[in-house]
Every structure is written in C-alpha cells, then in structure tokens.
Structure 1
Amino acid sequence: MILNPPPWPNGARCAVAFTFDMDADSILHFDHHASADTRMAVMSMLRYGPEVAVPRILQMYKAFGMRQTFFLPAWCMERYPESVEAILKDGHEIGHHGYLHERPNELLPDQELYWLQRGTEVIVRMTGQRPRGMRCGSFKFSRHTMDFLVQEDFDYDASLFGDDVPYLLETEAGSIVELPTHYGMDDWPHYMASRDFGYMMSMKSPAAALELFKEEFDAVWEFGGLWIAVWHPFLSGRLARARATQQLIEYMHAKGSVWFATLEEISAHTRKLMAEGAWHPRVDHLPYYEGPIPELGIKSPELSV
C-alpha cells in the first residue's frame, strides 16, 4: 500500500520515533500573555511536563536503550535548563520548536525569521551545536518557512503530513527532508482538556489511545512506513498514559524488526539512500500555490464564498 517504501537499516520493517514537544508553559504565555501568571491550575498542569514527566520519560527510554528526539521552544530551554541537561546527558536529540511556541504562518516573514534565529542562538549556546530539525509550533508551517530552513542550514522538517515515509520539500532556495506525521499520532486530541485553552473534549482512556497508536504502528510495520508520535510530556507523561506507552514499546519490541531512531538519524539515513542511489523519495515543490486560487476571485451562481 506504500508504493515506494525506503529500505530501513538492518532489514527493519519500519522506523519508529517517539518525539516529545516539551512546550511547558510557553503556550500559556503566548496565548494569554497578560494573564498567564494568574492561571495557577493550568500553569501547574504545564509545568508537570519538565518537572515530573520528562524525568519519567527519560527513565523509560533508558530502560529500553532508546535515543529519541525532543522538540523544545528555546524559551523553555532557558526556563528549564535541568531538563535540557538531562535530555542531552542521555544522548537524545533536541530539535527547534520556535522560541515561545510562536506560530509561523501567523507572522510576517521578518518576524518568523527573527524568532527562528533567536531560537537557534539559544540551542547553540545550550547544546553546543546547531539544531538539525524543526517542528513548527502547532504545525503552522508558513509559505516562507521552507526558504528560511534552507537559509539557516536545517537538515529536516517534521511539521507536515504529506506522506507515510520521508519525502523531500523543494523550493528555488533548495531542499530539505520532510519527516511526516499526522493528527492521529498527536496526543492532543486524545488527552487534552483545559478551560484556559478552550479545549473541553472528552478525554480517551490510555487503553483507547493505545489502541489507535498500536493500529497505526501495525500498518507501518506491515507496509514499510514511518511512525512518528507527536506527544507532549504534560499529557502523555502522566502516570497511566506513561504506563501505556511502556506497554506499546514492549509490544513493538516483541513484534521485532523495528528501527527506533531519532529524527536526525532518520533524515541522515534518507540522505544516505539518496546519495547511494538506493532509493529516491517523492518531491513536493513549495509553495503549493502562489496565492488564493483565481476561481474564487469572481463570484458566480455556482460558487458562493
């Protein structure tokens, strides 16, 4: 069902990455700047991520011998340096997730570039190297993001949903590897509930969420795809949910032939295959459109907008 599955290392059937976006309270300050300091309940919920959940997640990864990718807003890195140190100490990758979880497609181009560069400066200062990958806040990749990522020497992006395996994004400025996921692999719709953010959806039990994530894994295992979870420590790091994650990893190990990798490693493998001529990914040329489509610029009886 995947027309062009890549050959994974050591004959693995699929690649798996449990990525965590450690947003902490950056999202509260960004959305409610003037009143964030008064919202104690949601603040405690978000701080649970770096203070309780991240150590738990790292302990779980260590038990399985896994190295994975964490996307951190640079402001969170400055605010929670102990989390950064612990992530790096265990050999995990830190990717760019904006400075204060800003949303690129809601910014002017010069603003987007400013926050991208400011975030990179923090990552370099605290990790000793430039970030290789980017995940835009709320997946809100703009029509300018691609050119900025090429300009700033990023290797891959992990914000888009356009395939089941790695593919290339290309503009006149150059190309980068896209490592796609989709909303079904995000823990937000399964677990998030907050009056402060306007999310009062019915939460799933960990068993129900685990069933969905497991079915997604079984499909990529069968057809040679890429499984990337987009989870948040303050959500999936909660006790019962973390236990469910442990059970999922155990299931993957029992099934076998799974390559657990950081996104940097998956991107590097993709580029190696391309360089050797062993596999060629699909290419998406960006932007998809130069502006609003002209068909809706003229009203007609057939089209109502």
Structure 2
Amino acid sequence: MDADSLIHIAKPEDSHDRLYPISMGRYGPLVALPRILDTYRRLGLKQSFFIPGWCLETYPDVAEAILKDGHEIGHHGYLHEDPIKTRGEQREWFERTLDAHLRICGQKPRGYRAPVYNITHEVVDLMIEHGIRYDSSMMADDIPYRLDTEGGSLYEMPVHWGTDDWPPFAHYDEIGYMMPVRGPSQGLAGFWEEFEAQYDAGGFFMLIIHPFLTGRLARWKQVEAWIAKTQETKDVWFATLDEIADHMDHLQKDGIWTPSVERLPYYDGPILGDTT
C-alpha cells in the first residue's frame, strides 16, 4: 500500500501541489483498503501488506485496521525510495522505517519487500542484522527458497512481474510510466493463468496488488469472485508470508523438505571492471 508516497519521492520539490497523483494515491488507503479488508474478513483470509514507513505515519488508522483483522504488515522502505544509495543512506532509510513500525504497529516487521523490487546486498545485510526473517523482492525460483550470505541467511518469497498488477493497470504520467490500461478481465486474465500453472505444479502463487490500482470497483469485483472460487479448489492454502516462513521452518525441522539456496553476493564487483 504505497498511497501517495510515489509522487513525493519522484517530485520532492513540488509534489504537494500535484493534486491528481496525490488523490490517486490516497484512493488506496481511504477507499480501496476498506473494500479489500471487507472482502478478506468475509472470506476469512489473512494476507501480507507491505507499507512504506511514511504511509504508516500518514495513515495510522489504516495500519490499525489491517493489524486488527490479523493481517501482516511488512517493511517497504520509508517513502518508496530506490534502495540503491550509499551504505549510510540505505541504513538511515531502513532504520527510519523500522522506527515507524515500532511506533505505529507496536512491533518490528518480520518481512521486507524492496520498492520496485530493487534490493541490494546492503539491504540484505540490514535485514539479517535486524532479525527480519524473509525478503520478497527477488526472482530466482518458482517457490520460496533461502538466501545465504557471510552474515547469515533468510528466506526469499519470490516475486515476478507476471503476477504484479502494475504492468496491466498502472498509468502514471507524473513518473513517466505511460502504458495503456487494460480492462479488468483482460488485465487479470494473465494472473489466473499464472495461478493455474503453479497449482498444476503444486507450487507457490503470490498476487501482488496495489490498492489504488486493483482496489478499484470493477477490478476488485473480479478479484473477489476469483478468490471465492479458488477457496473451493482442493489443496489451496491462503497464508501470510510470515506463515509460509513458519511452514518452511517446520518442513525442514521434520526432514520433509530442503529449500534451494542462492548464495550472495552473486558477483564481487562490476563484471566489466575498469574500462578506462
């Protein structure tokens, strides 16, 4: 739930005067989120929300409603900033967000998703340092796996753009994203195909939605109908990512399953090296 953080990080000099993108972002927490929470409540679902720290501070009532219904809130940067900064800047943004979680949510987050999935080695190190147990920003497998570094390890709940609502539904000229918006049925059809493939493989499906996009009436009507139908499908488990991390712990403890492992860093430095 990024709300209007996107315009403030993209246009910091005059974002306060750009009313159209502010209003579009505010639709997420103020209109779409209550609709989404109502659906989850009626269908008995618990889900994971990733919210920038600034959004927690700006919309604390929304965070309270999410937690009251038993959902998880994960770390998503402070102002949806690009994490690729200096090591000191990354730490400042990361820990500022942790402070917001402690003040607004009363606890540290258990998971992290990088804004725009742009995770760095430094952020992985910060997660391990602060006891965050999983990330959800990388794309190296179809199912959850493990990241290992010299400093420790954490779980990875893999994402990919084929299950993210930004490509089919976002049209955001203020940040230079000018793409044709698809109709609800057309835009969502690809997600259902992704689910069917994962279901056939006994795998992992994670639909990534932004409330200000998919929380719009026509789109959410279709999502709700799909969720209700999928709940009737055999052997489908709806869970928070933290619950999935718990499940991974139990499977390994009982000797039932061992996750694949990605070791970081992938490379020690630039591949081209010094080209001067």
Q: Any idea what the Cα deviations from partners look like across 1:138-157, whole Å, max 9, x if unmatched?
A: 11101212111100100000
What does residue 243 of structure 2 align with? Answer: 265
Q: Structure 1: where are the runs of 5+ without partners?
A: 1-21, 300-305
What does residue 45 of structure 1 align with? Answer: 24
Q: Any idea what the Cα deviations from partners look like across 1:213-233, whole Å, max 9, x if unmatched?
A: 111111111101111112100
Instruction: Give the share of equivalent positions with the same residue, in percent.
Output: 45
Query: Secondary structure of the equivalent of 1:118?
Result: helix
Distance between the aligned counterparts of 1:197 and 1:102, measured in 2?
Answer: 13
Distance between the aligned counterparts of 2:232 and 2:242, measured in 1?
Answer: 25
Shift of 1:297: 5.0
Distance between the aligned counterparts of 2:64 and 2:26, measured in 1?
Answer: 17
Match of 2:114, as an amino acid? Answer: C
Shift of 1:267: 1.0
Alignment of 1:24-173 (within 5 A): 24-105=3-84, 107-173=85-151
What does residue 235 of structure 1 align with? Answer: 213
> Deviating runs (4+, > 2 A) in structure 1?
296-299
Shift of 1:276: 2.0
TM-score (norm 2): 0.97
Distance between the aligned counterparts of 1:88 and 1:145, measured in 2?
Answer: 25
| 1:210 maps onto 2:227 in alignment | no
What does residue 182 of structure 1 align with? Answer: 160
Richer in strand (by share): 1
C-alpha RMSD of the superposition: 1.3
Shift of 1:238: 0.4
Question: Is contact 1:193-1:201 (8 Å) kept?
Answer: yes
Q: Any idea what the Cα deviations from partners look like across 1:28-50, whole Å, max 9, x if unmatched?
A: 10010111111111111110000
Q: Any idea what the Cα deviations from partners look like across 1:82-132, whole Å, max 9, x if unmatched?
A: 101110111100000011111112x11111111111111111122221110
Structure with more contact order per residue of length (Cα contacts < 8 Å, sep ≥ 6): 1
Match of 1:83, as an amino acid? Answer: V
Query: Secondary structure of the equivalent of 1:104?
Result: coil
Query: Secondary structure of the equivalent of 1:252?
Result: helix
Distance between the aligned counterparts of 2:8 and 2:54, measured in 1?
Answer: 11
Higher mean C-alpha displacement, 246-255 vs 39-48: 246-255
Higher mean C-alpha displacement, 121-130 vs 261-270: 121-130
Distance between the aligned counterparts of 1:257 and 1:280, measured in 2?
Answer: 21
Query: Secondary structure of the equivalent of 1:146?
Result: helix
Match of 2:25, as an amino acid? Answer: L
Alignment of 1:192-211 (within 5 A): 192-211=170-189
Distance between the aligned counterparts of 2:60 and 2:164, measured in 1?
Answer: 25
TM-score (norm 1): 0.88
Q: Structure 2: where are the runs of 5+ without partners?
A: none
Distance between the aligned counterparts of 1:94 and 1:194, measured in 2?
Answer: 25
